[in-house]
Structure 1
Amino acid sequence: MSDPAVHKTAGTGLESAIVAALGRRSVVLVGMMGAGKSTVGRRLAARLGLSFADADSEIEAAAGMPISEIFAKHGEADFRAGEKRVIARLLDGGPQVLATGGGAVMDANTRAQIAANGVSVWLKADADILQRRTRRRNDRPLADKIATLLPEREPFYAQSDITVQSREEPHEAVVEEIIVALAGKLGVPEQKT
C-alpha cells in the first residue's frame, strides 16, 4: 500500500510546472553504479510524464554487446568515447529523464553538455550501500573498484545542480525529494492543494 505522504505532489500540477520550466532540458541523474539512477529515473520519468533513457542501455544497443564485453574487447577508453557520443545524442532529444553511467561526468565535454542541456541530480549514496547493491550483479566491470572510484568521482558529482541522498528507503521517497528539489531549483512556486 502506498503512503499518501510520499505522493503529496502527485496531482497537484507541480510535475507539469516542472516540465514547463525545464523547456528542452533533461533531468540528468549522475552518481556511482548502484546509486539507483535507473530505478529512480524510471519512477521520476513516470511522475513527470517524460520519457526515460538509460545511457548504459543505449550504449549496449549501439555496440550490440553488453558493457562488460565492450570493456573486455575494446577497453575503457573506447567505452568512454562511445558514452560521450551517446549522451550528447540523448541530450539533444530532451526533455527526458536520463540516467548516466557512473563515470560519465569524468569527461569535461560531457559535463559541459549536461550543464547546457540539463538539470543534473547527483544520487549520492554511501560506499557500503553501493557495494551491497552492486554485489548482486556481475555485469558491472568496475564494481569491485567502488572504494577507489568513489573519492575520485565525488568532486565531479558534487558539481551537480541538485544532490539527493540515495538510501535504503522506498524509491518513491527519493523521487519525491527530487521533485521538490527540482521545483526549488527551477523557481517553480509551491502548489496549493
Structure 2
Amino acid sequence: MQKLTDLLDRPIVLVGLMGAGKSTVGRRLAKRLGLPFVDSDVEIEEASGATTADLFERYGEHDFRDGERRLVARLVEGDIRVIATGGGAFIDPRTRQLLNERAITIWLDAPIEVLAERTARRDNRPLLKKGNRAEILARLAEERHHSYSEAQIHVRSSSGAHSDVVDAIIAAIREHIGE
C-alpha cells in the first residue's frame, strides 16, 4: 500500500449523492492509505460555528455552494489526503473543474434504496426535509448524474461491506495512475 501512497501526487476527493458513503468510506480509505482524512461539511461547520443545515437555510443554496467552493479549493491545496465533499459540491461547474484539475475525483454511486436507508439514520439533510426521501434522492440522482459522471473514477457502492468499496477504490486508483 505504501508504494501506491508514494505515487500519489494529489488528494483523493470523493463525490456523490448524500448517503453514498463518502465520509464513512473516505475515513477507511484514508486509514488504509496512511493519509489524513477531511470531511468538507465538518470543515464548513467548524469554520462557521453552525451546522450545514443551518447555513443552507440561513444563506440559501447558492451562497452555501459559493462558500463550499472556496473551502474545497483550500483543502485541495494542502497535503495529499482523502477528502469527502458534500453531495452538491461537485455540481458547481467551477468546483468540478477545480477538483478534476487538482485532485483524483471518485464518484461513489449507490442505488436509491441504499441512499434512502442511509440518509434516514440522521435528520440533518436540508434537501430531504420537504417530501418523500426516495423520490427526492431519485430526482437529485437524475439531475446530478451528468456532473458526477465527469469524475475521473466511478465506483459503485451498495449495502455491502465498506471494505469492499475501499478495495474497489484502491484498484481503480491503481489503474488510474498506471501502477
TM-score class, shorter-chain normalisation, is over 0.9
Q: Normalized against structure 1, the TM-score is what?
A: 0.87
Is 1:18 aligned to residue 9 of structure 2?
Answer: no
The Cα offsets for residues 76-98 of structure 1, whole Å up to 9 and x where unpaired, read as: 11211110011000000131000
Aligned to 1:146: 137
- What are the equivalent positions in structure 2 for 1:83-162 lying under 5 Å apart? 83-143=68-128, 144=133, 145-162=136-153
Matched-pair identity in %:
46
Runs of 4+ in 1 over 2 A off after TM superposition: none
Aligned to 1:172: 163
Q: 1:165 Cα shift? A: 0.8
Is 1:187 aligned to residue 178 of structure 2?
Answer: yes
> If you compute each CA radius of gyration, which structure gives the higher value, 1 or 2?
1
Q: 1:20 Cα shift? A: 2.0
Unaligned 5+ runs, structure 1: 1-14, 189-193
Aligned to 1:163: 154
- What are the equivalent positions in structure 2 for 1:51-66 lying under 5 Å apart? 51-66=36-51
Q: Normalized against structure 2, the TM-score is what?
A: 0.93
1:18 alignment partner AA: L
Residue of structure 2 aligned with 1:67, choices 34, 46, 52: 52
Unaligned 5+ runs, structure 2: none
The Cα offsets for residues 3-60 of structure 1, whole Å up to 9 and x where unpaired, read as: xxxxxxxxxxxx222222212x111100000000000000000000000010111111
- Distance in 1 between the 2:145 and 2:7 partners? 28
- Distance in 2 between the 1:148 and 1:44 partners? 29
Q: 1:67 Cα shift? A: 0.8
Q: What SS does structure 2 have at the residue aligned with 1:94?
A: coil
Structure having the higher helix fraction is 2
1:32 alignment partner AA: L
